[in-house]
Chain A
């Protein structure tokens, strides 16, 4: 099977080479075109001296934590609804999944219209104080706008992950608990959730990674505004490198981002693995 070499070669060219290359560049005076000398850790030092980088890191951390909790809570709730005995469950599942089909950019733009125009128009007409000024012009409210769109977009996908976990539970275990007189809530917490812990591992990993990598919704919804206060780390790196031409610090920040994502994912997966029950 010598043809297996082709995808491996493409993989190396597209992923491995830029990865190694990028790590090397952070220790040089690279300006996007050429390098003349090694500069040690000065790019990293400069990145950490940048106050906007710190505020981006804080904002991103908050975004990842809040979106992680809400996406998974909502997704699990949706999964419970569509695995219940409702006759309309397939129909509901179809609806919940729809936002996931459309790319983050288009979704972001749709919600930009809602927050900037539709809600403001309605608020002026019916005198709703909360929406009279667009949410996207206020850092705190823009944060919640980002969260709302993210939850709306990703919960459908994570719902599928949880459905897969829920339906994998053997029915005889559930019947046994019913015969023993366990209430539905008790069954949920002591039987269902422990037996489907693997689904949680996967969904938490995907949302964690997705939260750190969020870019499309950020660009299309807030564009980082007002005054770069809602820039998540991806957008921050993009701006640093491609808008301001700081390739050295931009790439150092990207490496820092990679290390944070890798570490967070490693911790999360090893912690949630401990809750998985062997069957």
Chain B
């Protein structure tokens, strides 16, 4: 029995390691080839580069306007996520604490809306908002992300607030705190775990989104996925540069992940059970 269990464990380990290797292999391949010259890549994509060239990175950095797209991605993600946290936590508080028919229906509509695919809206969407988009497309995009993200975020907050006893609110209002003060000073700080979940789930989605930015953004306001896609389309024949571009596109989020790994995993699992 004991030896069987040990063999089972060993087999699991081997399968696990093999799979883990397979999961990161594509990234490894891109990374290795980003330091090579075009000829070496075609000769053997698996070989470790003997001569390291930084030329690819320099080219990719300028051609895909890396710094500009990174800044755009950061600005858009930061403002969308922060505003989503502020708005959806307040909305969830309102919906969870007012027990009226209206608040119940609003909540139901929010939940039901999560099943609507963006594709079902995008055509009238673009016709209707063309003007707004041409006036300030980054602002428009942030506005849209709030609209699309508010349902899930509110839903997550709602589940948490329902478990906070109303006595806390009452105690605050007896002490003379207004609704707003009670919420921001007492309730909101209690919700830190959900806030982390909301922040991570929305940040991942917004950071990586492609379809909406593709419809909305201009050249100057491109986000990282968009500029990577366009750059690759244009320079895919220059393999080395294309690979360097991909490395640049992947690095920021991977670094972020390695720093906040625990929060990522627990945030996503908390969001998933709901």
Q: Interface of A with B (CB < 8 Å)?
A: 1, 3-4, 6-8, 10-11, 13-19, 21-22, 25, 32-33, 78, 81-82, 84-86, 88-89, 91-107, 109-114, 117-118, 121-122, 125, 152, 156-157, 160-161, 163-164, 168, 184, 198-199, 202, 209, 212-213, 215-216, 219-220, 233-234, 237-238, 241-242, 247, 250-251, 254-255, 257-258, 261-262, 265
Contacts and interface: CB of A to CB of B under 8 A. Distances in A.
Interface stretch (B52-60, B188-196, B203-211): B203-211
Contact of B117 (A96, A111, A261): A261
Nearest to B153: A7
Top 8 A-B pairs, shortest CB-CB distance: A14-B147, A103-B208, A4-B94, A7-B87, A95-B20, A22-B124, A258-B120, A118-B45
B67 interface: no
A33 B45 contact: no
Interface in B215-232: 215, 225-226, 228-229, 232
A10 B146 contact: yes
A103 B90 contact: no
B75 interface: no
Contacts of A168: 273
Majority DSSP secondary structure for residues of A touching B: helix
Contacts of B24: 95, 98
B208 A11 contact: no
Contacts of A238: 119, 122, 211
Interface in B96-138: 97, 106, 109-110, 113, 115-128
B257 A98 contact: yes
A3 B188 CA distance: 15
Given A103-B208, A117-B41, A14 B120 contact: no
A157 B268 contact: yes
B265 interface: yes
B106 A1 contact: no
A117 B253 contact: no
B261 interface: yes
B186 interface: no
B12 A103 contact: no
B128 A18 contact: yes
A213 B117 contact: yes
A253 to B, nearest CB: 9
Q: Chain B: interface secondary structure?
A: helix
Interface string B239-257: 1001100100110011001
A92 B42 contact: no
A160 B200 CA distance: 14
A164 B128 contact: no
B151 interface: yes
6 contacts: A13-B147, A78-B19, A98-B257, A113-B29, A160-B269, A163-B269
Contact of A7 (B16, B88, B264): B88
Most chain B CB within a 10 A radius of its CB, from A104, A157, A164: A164
Given A15-B121, A18-B121, A18-B124, A10 B19 contact: no
Contacts of A13: 147
Contacts of A152: 23, 26
Nearest to B144: A14
A85 to B, nearest CB: 7
A238 B215 CA distance: 10
Given A7-B91, A17-B128, A88-B13, A106 B26 contact: no
Contacts of A247: 123, 127
A261 B113 CA distance: 12
A117 B239 contact: yes
B149 to A, nearest CB: 10
Contacts of A3: 87, 90, 180
B141 to A, nearest CB: 11
